[in-house]
Structure 1
């Protein structure tokens, strides 16, 4: 079947069925609602404790559901309604502190470009190995967590739940893709009720939470002179120059430009509109959503005044139609059609990275924005940020994401009750293309002042003014095609309960990306798998489960292509035992344990090893390339998980997990295991090993027993420690450089032990090893001094080099994360807040923002505490140098900072109209609310946001919204 016919067919069927259902339901009397069960998804926004496993509800697991009291694996869940409090263009950014065991990282907030990264229980592979969990949406591959993935385009309004599957018993069914965990997304379905229409809108604004604070031109010139003097050179700026910079009396020859103010707006508008239709009966059920989202970038609207530019805007339109139909008593069908359309426009570049790098480097006195003759200011070293945005053209991209699925389910009660067979086909597609219109501009550096006229004199033109040229570009394309067939069984026999699944599936994915201006493609990625799960429970007290996946991938040699991944788990509901069943304080108590094997085949091999390292490659000159590795295989992980779920005193929910993960067969360069005398370029080998240990707990309190007052508090805590057991590292002179036993991703840095004094510099003249420094570092008083720890046998050798690096700081993701969600409602008012705290995390102050005058760059407020002879005892920054300093800006502990923080991620205050008023105007409910996102942060980094010190800044968002239901 050709894809275009599949798309057209499922689109027409979904629209026709949805339209038929909407019309027929609208004509039915409201009293029919009492005939059918109410779907839990249709409850209005209200105060409720986030989902707890101790509640007897059906929870989503791999390819099915189970009663929550019978779940024996480790999972965390959040509902779509809970994460609606955030305003984000990327779904992942709404999950901070929400799911126990999930770490979310996001370096910036650029609309349409910001992507959230995920890790589950830390990093358990190293090097270039992938640590991201597998993302599954309604049973199908979600295309990853990055830009353009199906997942990143989803909205909270269309999501029922997001569930994180964490241990082997939950993920083994995914075979060689489950070792990093699975993020399971389930979208909403229609309910058994007459037509419900829900409309909401949000309007607000955003602004930068933190921008780098650089010194003005007068202070820049003063400190630059000081740096020159420290280097033994004459000063560049006279006192008259400095005074002119400070007064602003001569903006042409003595400019003082705040480049951030020149190109960025103080606030930018945001908006969102959402319309849902929900309803159904015993024959047809439907959920339909339409959403429009608008978000402008921080750039000023240069496109309003310059034809060769554009405003920075991002618009996205989402739609979803989920239709379930009972075609007969035993045959049902499910149609899912969803997607999004994106439009992104930017002047100068496709993203803002290059522009923000320029803003962080350009000194305030480098040149004026415009010269007196109307030309752009500039220099041979730096471009003009304003000219970049006004006169270099613009980038316009259009993308589409389409998700389709067609499922048929046949009951087989005539064979045995509770048995059914299901078949499904799904196609996900992401495509982004656009137009880039580019041109060049000339800039002129002022060289002096004409002695007669007093007008500026200019150097020859830098760059070239060209006409606008256009090119059509395809940037990324992702396509996934998947077929599944499954046999499902769910039945209770007296005190016995059985739930089983047997499934066969195949999927193909094609990914192509733009590299510069040249498109690059890959062969399809293909997986075939068999999977099964069997859950047995006796008297809802004793539970046993076995699950397994048998999976193959094209990435491996033919005789090593398939692997078997089994897992088992046990559960004991102690509260059902006679000795606890009458205890009114212990309402529910379950112990669980699991152990199993999972895999990770998302392995990056590097350009030299090729896509298929089991083939021998040869260079163009006929010489042998990297040796083939015929034993190349996926990473394997054995996981032990012990857990507890409890409900106490009818209001307190507790979950606890402790785990031990052992991963092996990680690809490493065999430096320490294969001798170099072999005389060939060695391939990566599956020799690496890691261990991850940790624990997680969540605690929820749901209080309030009156109609007027209700409240809840839910908190979660995660801790992990990921260590390297073996990575085939070569012999190290310094024990601090040995990776085995160290944290996975452990930074190695020089240990800064203060600043050199003049006495120490004098002593170095006769005995350099007494106060060692880097060989290429011409140190002076006020320069950083490092500890000499490295030499043969660990004995200091009198020099500072890479052998002196030691473990300093934490890996790039926090090892301790705490989330706190709390809410309160009184009468018609409600308040919800989400806090997140992290610790055991480090950030590093690097680049032009913190390294004064390097590469002719800026100087920020961090340099105010620089070393001088007068403040040598209290200095917080090394001496200034106007040249590139080879000593002070080395990778050292001096620039390491504690990345711990406490953030109020979101807050929402709402007011619901009393039912008497809403009923009088014939609406079911009406609610007004205000929201805030990234409201405040308490941290130990005074120079910016500890999650995004450079680049596009983190944004604060404030929203006013309304919701009305009919």
Structure 2
């Protein structure tokens, strides 16, 4: 159960004719109550793992819990996981303050102004846990209580089912409480200049910013801070030729003195061709612009939990310690180094190029935009791999990695009228992005296909599915026939047969490679369309993606999971059988060879392309004299829906989610009905 109250107040003040002040106060008060078993996501995981016959429910107000006295498996009773266990209650108070002060400095020179901004955010969460217990019934055979020594198959054994009360009931009591807090602030001061001299527009910006976070996530209370200085100069001639120069000078705590600051310049050019005299005769083009930019950006983060990359981690103390002595060695407590520091580590850098074309044609009815980008990222923060084993230490981050990125984005739109009352529009877009690992200090491999260098980031690594074993692949004694690659394990028809990539007759680690796509799609596309007619309006928004993969995880790759979990209907229908053969979507169901079939291979990596109707809305607007007489300028009634349709290859997993397992709150379909009234 969640209760949330949001508040927001804004105040704009004209202090003088040249001074404006904006103040904002916002936040929320939130209480959240979860069952003691855990977060709601755990519930969705357990729903699929619980056996349908694990409990008949409640009898006389008490839960019936089936134990493994007569059944050779552990019953996963979903009710029992929550039944009487208590709950955890958390209260959160979040507050956000912001301020914006602008002072015009026209008395110095026209177009000059000074601005200062500030923001302060704080949050406190207090949590308390309440524990309890309840009595429950366990079904047993009557003779198990009256004559516990009697065998269950004895003719005199009474198989009448009775309910035995077990456990104790206790009132809820507070067991523990804890709290978390966050606090950060941001300050920005800038001097801006914007002025027009005839056909010339000039602008300039000098900006300083600083931020500090007092309770970062990196398991430490040491505040985290950043400093930055930004400069920009712009020039435009007749809004036809555009020039923009930017530069950033940023500092990071993650690097040693002398390495903390990075300089990141950028420049862009624009040419509005439609403003040229020779374009005035081309009446079907109303706007045409070419643009290009080049810039350098930086990154200082290895991961969110690793800070101060130039310093070594704290030592790890061990109670076992080290052994000293020859004949009777004794253990002495000691400490070991963790990750070493690197005083030479500095900013990761990326050189980015962008080229673009913008066009409006046919009296603004047809719109077209094209963006092409290239990125070369170097000095990427990674940990070395090609280090001898006798270097008994966890190595620090170094500036070694290299990755290239490229892609484009295209949008095309049409907006027009038919007659005076029917207006319609249609706009589509598609984007493409692909990266390539240029260098990552890989360990030498036995086969060229085992390297990640030259491939995209985030590909899955494992064996390659060849086919399912068939009956003809086995001799009478159950061994595989000649020609089947050798691999450890005992196999039966319906098990997975992997490809022998190096043709050495053995399936081993040298037959692993990279395959599929990453979890981020290479192609993303969308479509927005709608119309308006005599007060009616309709709009819809489609989104989709392709060249994207999802890896199925444990509960899909291991039937029966820990040995006692149930099976989903579609898994049973799509499993391997002699009739289904090579068209099966899952190998044979077994509890004895699950590790072989479930190990990482491209068999478990599925196409996650999808097309989704993200939003659809219909409405009708009333704008009559009758409404105006009662003070209503306009009234609109509408209905809309979200996540209404999805077309994909997965079916059982949300294709937009990067989590392929089911321990996640399911995707929701939302319907809204409403009224907008303007007075």
TM norm structure 1: 0.63
Answer yes or no: is 1:569 the counterpart of 2:274: no
- Which whole-Å CA distance do the structure 2 matches of 1:376 and 1:619 have between them? 48
What SS class does the counterpart of residue 539 from structure 2 fall into?
A: strand
Report if the CA contact (8 A) 2:610-2:647 is conserved: yes
What SS class does the counterpart of residue 415 from structure 1 fall into?
A: coil
Report if the CA contact (8 A) 1:317-1:341 is conserved: yes
Deviation at 1:889, TM superposition (A): 1.4
Deviation at 1:685, TM superposition (A): 1.9
Deviations 1:416-447 (A, max 9, x none): 11101112221122333333323345666546
Report if the CA contact (8 A) 1:376-1:442 is conserved: no
Cα gap change, 1:947 to 1:377, in 2 (>3 Å) = farther
Residue number among 466, 475, 496 corresponding to 1:784 in the alignment: 496
Q: Aligned runs of 1:419-818 on 2, under 5 Å?
A: 419-441=112-134, 446=139, 448=141, 450=143, 454-456=159-161, 466-470=170-174, 473-474=177-178, 476-511=180-215, 520-604=219-303, 611-615=308-312, 617-620=314-317, 621-650=334-363, 651-672=365-386, 674-704=387-417, 707-762=420-475, 770-772=483-485, 774-775=487-488, 777-789=489-501, 795-818=502-525
Greater shift in the superposed pair: 944-953 or 576-585: 944-953
* Alignment-derived partner of residue 105 in structure 1: none
- Which whole-Å CA distance do the structure 1 matches of 2:613 and 2:134 have between them? 44
Residue number among 559, 564, 567 corresponding to 1:859 in the alignment: 567
Deviations 1:549-578 (A, max 9, x none): 111122221221111111011000111111
- Which whole-Å CA distance do the structure 1 matches of 2:164 and 2:507 have between them? 44
What SS class does the counterpart of residue 579 from structure 1 fall into?
A: helix
Deviation at 1:594, TM superposition (A): 0.5
* Alignment-derived partner of residue 550 in structure 2: 843
* Alignment-derived partner of residue 323 in structure 2: none
What SS class does the counterpart of residue 208 from structure 2 fall into?
A: strand
Residue number among 616, 626, 634 corresponding to 1:925 in the alignment: 634
Deviation at 1:765, TM superposition (A): 6.2
* Alignment-derived partner of residue 223 in structure 1: none
Answer yes or no: is 1:822 the counterpart of 2:529: yes
Cα gap change, 1:947 to 1:466, in 2 (>3 Å) = farther
Q: Aligned runs of 1:172-211 on 2, under 5 Å?
A: none
- Which whole-Å CA distance do the structure 1 matches of 2:25 and 2:60 have between them? 58
- Give the structure, 1 or 2, with the largest relative contact order (CA under 8 Å, sep 6 or more): 1
* Alignment-derived partner of residue 402 in structure 1: 95
Deviation at 1:678, TM superposition (A): 3.7
- Which whole-Å CA distance do the structure 2 matches of 1:897 and 1:433 have between them? 42
Deviations 1:591-641 (A, max 9, x none): 1111111012233176xx665443464443244443221122232111011
Deviations 1:355-406 (A, max 9, x none): 2221111221234334689343144745422233442222332323322112
* Alignment-derived partner of residue 595 in structure 2: 886
- Which whole-Å CA distance do the structure 1 matches of 2:181 and 2:446 have between them? 47
Deviations 1:886-933 (A, max 9, x none): 221121222222111110001111111124233122022221111101
- Which whole-Å CA distance do the structure 2 matches of 1:314 and 1:379 have between them? 34
Cα gap change, 1:459 to 1:658, in 2 (>3 Å) = farther
Greater shift in the superposed pair: 337-346 or 724-733: 337-346
- Which whole-Å CA distance do the structure 1 matches of 2:86 and 2:580 have between them? 50
Gap runs ≥5 in structure 1 = 1-312, 790-794
- Which whole-Å CA distance do the structure 2 matches of 1:646 and 1:602 have between them? 39
Cα gap change, 1:870 to 1:410, in 2 (>3 Å) = closer
- Which whole-Å CA distance do the structure 2 matches of 1:748 and 1:893 have between them? 8
What SS class does the counterpart of residue 834 from structure 1 fall into?
A: strand
Answer yes or no: is 1:416 the counterpart of 2:109: yes
- Over the aligned positions, Cα root-mean-square deviation in angstroms equals 2.7
Residue number among 612, 622, 626 corresponding to 1:913 in the alignment: 622
- Which whole-Å CA distance do the structure 2 matches of 1:934 and 1:675 have between them? 53
What SS class does the counterpart of residue 572 from structure 2 fall into?
A: helix
Report if the CA contact (8 A) 2:83-2:134 is conserved: no
* Alignment-derived partner of residue 21 in structure 2: 333
Deviations 1:202-249 (A, max 9, x none): xxxxxxxxxxxxxxxxxxxxxxxxxxxxxxxxxxxxxxxxxxxxxxxx
Residue number among 832, 845, 865 corresponding to 2:539 in the alignment: 832
Q: Aligned runs of 1:126-137 on 2, under 5 Å?
A: none
Deviation at 1:963, TM superposition (A): 1.6
Report if the CA contact (8 A) 1:773-1:779 is conserved: no
Report if the CA contact (8 A) 1:324-1:333 is conserved: yes
Deviation at 1:449, TM superposition (A): 5.9
* Alignment-derived partner of residue 646 in structure 2: 937
TM norm structure 2: 0.88
Report if the CA contact (8 A) 2:466-2:497 is conserved: yes
Cα gap change, 1:559 to 1:874, in 2 (>3 Å) = closer
How many residues are aligned here? 639
Structure 1 runs (4+) deviating above 6 angstroms are: 457-460, 763-769
* Alignment-derived partner of residue 368 in structure 1: 56
Cα gap change, 1:454 to 1:763, in 2 (>3 Å) = closer
What SS class does the counterpart of residue 690 from structure 1 fall into?
A: strand
- Which whole-Å CA distance do the structure 1 matches of 2:124 and 2:355 have between them? 43
Cα gap change, 1:751 to 1:543, in 2 (>3 Å) = same
- Which whole-Å CA distance do the structure 1 matches of 2:593 and 2:480 have between them? 26
Tell which structure's C-alpha radius of gyration is larger.
2
- Which whole-Å CA distance do the structure 2 matches of 1:707 and 1:472 have between them? 69
- Which whole-Å CA distance do the structure 2 matches of 1:464 and 1:892 have between them? 48
Report if the CA contact (8 A) 1:323-1:335 is conserved: yes
Q: Aligned runs of 1:141-180 on 2, under 5 Å?
A: none
Answer yes or no: is 1:357 the counterpart of 2:35: no
Cα gap change, 1:488 to 1:472, in 2 (>3 Å) = farther
Report if the CA contact (8 A) 2:544-2:611 is conserved: yes
* Alignment-derived partner of residue 391 in structure 1: 84
Deviations 1:853-881 (A, max 9, x none): 12121211222233334543554432221
- Which whole-Å CA distance do the structure 1 matches of 2:377 and 2:134 have between them? 54
Cα gap change, 1:376 to 1:586, in 2 (>3 Å) = same
- Which whole-Å CA distance do the structure 1 matches of 2:61 and 2:623 have between them? 66
Deviations 1:703-734 (A, max 9, x none): 12655222222221110101111111101123
- Which whole-Å CA distance do the structure 2 matches of 1:802 and 1:465 have between them? 55
- Which whole-Å CA distance do the structure 2 matches of 1:628 and 1:430 have between them? 33
Report if the CA contact (8 A) 2:115-2:189 is conserved: yes
What SS class does the counterpart of residue 782 from structure 1 fall into?
A: coil
Gap runs ≥5 in structure 2 = 69-73, 144-155, 318-333
Report if the CA contact (8 A) 1:319-1:340 is conserved: yes
What SS class does the counterpart of residue 49 from structure 2 fall into?
A: coil
User: Quick check: which one's strand share is greater?
Assistant: 2
- Which whole-Å CA distance do the structure 2 matches of 1:764 and 1:685 have between them? 56
What SS class does the counterpart of residue 356 from structure 1 fall into?
A: helix
* Alignment-derived partner of residue 901 in structure 1: 610
Report if the CA contact (8 A) 2:309-2:396 is conserved: no
